[in-house]
């Protein structure tokens, strides 16, 4: 069947659809959420029933029902609402709604849909059949044929006999095949019934009274049929017979049905008494006129209790007024809920939850009572309450944890997520999570490939857990620990993915700080080793020279003409010692906490300034600098430090050039996810890396001595 669902809450719509699917109902459903979509649907498409929420923005169920009826659409309309009053229920049932179902009682929605649609279809079929019969060219002939009765007539004055077409057919003759007369009738009467029939006609002629009798006739193929015949005499004032009319009805099927009914009546009683549902019938006053054994079992009554039992006797006090009102509505011919629940009271006082399906009982087109099927749903109610409590507990945990959870279906669309998802820095995504949205559509193109691979692994049954640094659309970065877990059904088939998200930025920052401290300790330890080397080699040598020269001067071991030279040597050695001390001071200054302000430093502008300076210092050298900064044009840093790095590397390329070859220096940049790399290449004499690679950037390490320098 095709259903139209009018609902503006996507969660409620999903719940309604899931409930119908679990019931086994086969259906297609279309969801609309406002007046325009509803009008478009009912104007252009056909549906078997409409399920409608009570209240929508600027629209409600009563208006929707009126729109249907204005367009002469009388399909079942079922109200599916969160809460409603008895007065509103009565109002909308009067407007033509077939039923209403509360959203916290959705387990009865499927049966309400089935019953409403089936009743509507049966009404349509009966209406169509009646219209077909009414349009018949010969209503009497059609009636005779459908009812299997024929008529005959004898007019005594003119000795006139007449049989209707159906009477011919009932006796097994073709229409007009034989002359209509008593002999041709008797020729068809069963031999065992022939004397009885003749005697009946003789008795009727003598008494001139109407007579009714049954007999059997035998057709050509030996088939036996049962006839119910009635004879009526018309007389003049003197009592003379003027006309005899007769009617004969083929009651063979009724006879067979009666025999079958008698045969199956006992079986039916056994079935009624042993089905799982309690069956009960009451009259217009609400007194019980029939109840099966299962009903007695549910409420603890005995057969003798049924004599004076009223339906309110097994209904809890708080439900009696509502059920009495519904009973009065049914008896009055008004619409009332066909399926509902109430709390029943057993004979011993025990309270039981009962689900009821009720309909009217008609006799000769008049409502004479109601019939109901009752089911004890106490265990189901207890289980449902426990489930709801469990769900509430899980929801409390789910909504108050410091981990974001996102539930995806097999198509990777969002089914549900907890509030913490919004708190966990979702400024890192381009689109916020929304139920029904494809999960990967929440991420930008840079981050999307990162989430796709673990999602596919989870769909394949392999759980994944990764740490990833998201680049915010606002410029900031954060670290997240993300888990992708498969959701399995009872057959271990993957039906979805649970994504758990935890912000670990603070943890990563602590790890980075720890690594920085570790790296700083290693560097400081290396510096101490360098200082030890400087102390034992670079400082010790000039100090020893100074001490030696001073000793010579103090001991008067020099001639007068040698003293000036000794003082000059002493000055040179002291100057060399001062240079070393300055170098050490410079190193210590560089390794202090950076206090200079940072700025965006443009690489090309920096190199241009340095080249202009070096061209003055190396005017005799024609050098070329080739730049490629297309992947990274600048960096946020301390300009003086970058200037020092660039000028040292470029000047070294010029100083350590090959003879007779003009220096060519190539500098280009590379961009990685977390850093900018600068690469320098020249065509100079180079360094023997196998021999000296481990010494590069060590204090006072020099690999060529034909050019002045200190290895700083």
Q: In degrees, to the nearest 5, what angle opens at C-alpha 437 toward C-alphas 433 and 443?
A: 55
pLDDT of residue 419: 77
pLDDT tens-digit profile of 402-443? 788 888 998 999 888 887 776 665 555 566 788 888 888 877
Listed residue (507, 455, 443, 462) closest to 481, CA to CA: 507
**Quick one: pLDDT band at residue 570, thresholds 50, 70, 90?**
confident
pLDDT of residue 272: 55
Asked if the model's pLDDT at residue 638 lies above 90, the reply is: no
H or E element that contains 632: none
pTM: 0.31
Residue 637 pairs in a beta bridge with 599
Length of the chain (residues): 712
Q: For 124-128, what is the mean pLDDT?
A: 76
pLDDT tens-digit profile of 69-98? 888 888 999 988 877 676 777 778 877 888
pLDDT of residue 539: 67
Q: For 322-333, what is the mean pLDDT?
A: 92
Per DSSP, the residues of 418-452 read -THHHHTTGGGSSS---TTSBGGGGS-TTTHHHHH
Asked if the model's pLDDT at residue 40 lies above 90, the reply is: yes
Which residues neighbour 709 within 8 Å (Cβ) at sequence distance 6 or greater?
Answer: 655, 702
Residue that has been written with the tokens 């193929």 in this structure = 221
Cβ contact 152:375 at 8 Å: no
pLDDT tens-digit profile of 643-668? 888 988 998 999 899 988 999 999 99
Percent pLDDT > 70 in the chain is 85
Token pair in block for residue 489: 């059904």
Percent pLDDT > 90 in the chain is 27
Q: In 253-324, which ranges are E strands?
A: 278-283, 288-291
Which residues neighbour 333 within 8 Å (Cβ) at sequence distance 6 or greater?
Answer: 367
Token pair in block for residue 633: 């044009």
Listed residue (644, 632, 640, 633) closest to 599, CA to CA: 640
Using CA atoms, how far residue 657 sits from 678, 688, 707, in Å, is 21, 15, 10
Q: At what angle do helices 317-331 and 86-94 cross, to 10 degrees?
A: 10
Asked if the model's pLDDT at residue 523 lies above 70, the reply is: yes
Q: Which of 126-130, 186-190, 273-277, 543-547 is predicted most confidently?
A: 186-190
Token pair in block for residue 342: 């109430």
Sign of the dihedral through C-alpha 208, 210, 213, 215:
positive
pLDDT tens-digit profile of 133-170? 545 444 455 555 665 678 888 887 767 888 888 889 88
Residue that has been written with the tokens 């109002």 in this structure = 91
pLDDT of residue 210: 76
Rounded to an integer, what distance in angstroms lies between the CA atom of residue 613 and that of residue 601?
Answer: 18
Rounded to an integer, what distance in angstroms lies between the CA atom of residue 706 and that of residue 655?
Answer: 10
Q: At what angle do helices 139-147 and 109-134 cross, to 10 degrees?
A: 130
Asked if the model's pLDDT at residue 128 lies above 80, the reply is: no
Choice among 44-58, 451-465, 516-530 with the minimum mean pLDDT: 516-530
pLDDT tens-digit profile of 278-301? 888 999 999 999 888 889 989 999
Cβ contact 132:145 at 8 Å: no
Ramachandran quadrant class, 365 (left: phi over 0; alpha: psi -120 to 50; beta: rest): left
Token pair in block for residue 324: 């009495």
Longest Cα separation, the chain:
195
Cβ contact 78:103 at 8 Å: no
Q: For 185-206, what is the mean pLDDT?
A: 88
Asked if the model's pLDDT at residue 473 lies above 60, the reply is: no
């Amino acid at each position: 069947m095709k259903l139209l669902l009018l609902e503006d809450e996507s969660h409620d719509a999903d719940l309604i659809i899931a409930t119908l699917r679990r019931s086994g109902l086969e259906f297609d459903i279309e969801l609309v959420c406002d007046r325009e979509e509803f009008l478009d649907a009912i104007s252009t498409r056909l549906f078997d029933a409409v399920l409608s929420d009570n209240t929508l923005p600027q629209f409600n169920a009563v208006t929707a029902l009126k729109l249907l009826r204005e367009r002469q659409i009388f399909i079942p309309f079922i109200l599916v609402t969160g809460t409603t009053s008895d007065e509103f229920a009565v109002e909308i049932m009067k407007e033509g709604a077939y039923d209403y179902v509360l959203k916290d009682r959705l387990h009865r929605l499927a049966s309400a849909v089935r019953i409403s649609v089936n009743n509507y279809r049966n009404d349509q079929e009966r209406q169509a059949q009646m219209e077909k019969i009414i349009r018949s060219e010969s209503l009497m002939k059609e009636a005779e044929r459908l009812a299997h009765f024929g008529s005959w007539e004898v007019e005594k004055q003119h000795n006139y006999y007449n049989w209707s077409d159906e009477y011919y057919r009932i006796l097994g003759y073709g229409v007009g095949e034989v002359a209509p007369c008593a002999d041709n009738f008797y020729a068809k009467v069963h031999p065992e019934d022939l004397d009885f029939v003749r005697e009946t006609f003789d008795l009727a002629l003598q008494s001139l009274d109407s007579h009714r009798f049954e007999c059997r006739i035998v057709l050509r193929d030996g088939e036996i049929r049962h006839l119910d015949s009635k004879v009526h005499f018309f007389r003049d004032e003197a009592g003379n017979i003027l006309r005899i009319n007769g009617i004969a009805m083929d009651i063979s099927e009724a006879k067979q049905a009666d025999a079958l009914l008698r045969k199956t009546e006992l079986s039916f009683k056994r079935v009624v008494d042993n089905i799982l549902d309690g069956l009960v019938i009451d009259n217009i006053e609400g007194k019980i006129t029939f109840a099966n054994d299962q009903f007695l079992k549910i409420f603890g009554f005995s057969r003798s209790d049924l004599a004076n039992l009223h339906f309110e006797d097994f209904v809890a006090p708080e439900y009696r007024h509502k059920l009495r009102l519904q009973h009065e509505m049914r008896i009055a011919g008004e619409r009332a809920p066909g399926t509902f629940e109430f709390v029943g009271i057993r004979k011993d006082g025990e309270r039981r939850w009962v689900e009821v399906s009720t309909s009217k009982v008609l006799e000769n087109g008049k409502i004479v009572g109601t019939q109901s099927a009752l089911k004890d749903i106490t265990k189901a109610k207890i289980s449902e309450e426990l489930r709801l409590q469990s769900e509430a507990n899980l929801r409390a945990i789910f909504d108050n944890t410091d981990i974001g959870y996102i539930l995806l279906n097999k198509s990777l669309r969002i089914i549900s997520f907890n509030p913490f998802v919004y708190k966990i820095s979702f400024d890192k995504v381009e689109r916020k999570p929304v139920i029904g949205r494809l999960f990967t559509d929440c991420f930008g193109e840079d981050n999307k490939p990162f989430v796709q691979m673990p999602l596919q692994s989870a769909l394949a049954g392999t759980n994944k857990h990764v740490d990833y640094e998201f680049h915010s659309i606002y410029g900031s970065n954060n670290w997240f620990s993300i888990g992708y877990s498969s959701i399995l059904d009872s057959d271990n088939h993957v039906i979805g993915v649970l994504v758990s998200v935890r912000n670990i930025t603070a943890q990563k920052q602590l790890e980075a700080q720890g690594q920085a401290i570790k790296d700083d300790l290693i560097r400081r330890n290396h510096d101490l080793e360098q200082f030890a080397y400087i102390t034992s080699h670079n400082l010790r040598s000039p100090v020893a020279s100074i001490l030696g020269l001073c000793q010579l001067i103090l001991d008067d071991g020099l001639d007068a003409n040698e003293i000036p030279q000794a003082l000059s040597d002493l000055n040179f050695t002291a100057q060399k010692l001062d240079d070393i001390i300055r170098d050490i001071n410079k190193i210590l200054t560089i390794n202090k906490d950076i206090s200079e302000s940072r700025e965006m430093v443009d690489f090309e502008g920096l190199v241009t300034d340095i080249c202009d300076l070096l061209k003055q210092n190396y005017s005799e050298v024609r050098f070329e600098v080739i730049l490629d900064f297309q992947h990274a044009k600048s960096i946020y840093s301390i300009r003086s430090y970058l200037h020092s790095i660039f000028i040292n590397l470029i000047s070294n390329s010029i100083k350590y050039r090959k003879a007779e070859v003009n220096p060519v220096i190539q500098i280009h940049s590379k961009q990685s996810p977390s850093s900018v790399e600068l690469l320098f290449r020249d065509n100079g004499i180079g360094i023997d890396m196998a021999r000296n690679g481990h010494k590069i950037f060590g204090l006072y390490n020099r690999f060529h001595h034909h050019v002045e320098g200190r290895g700083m």
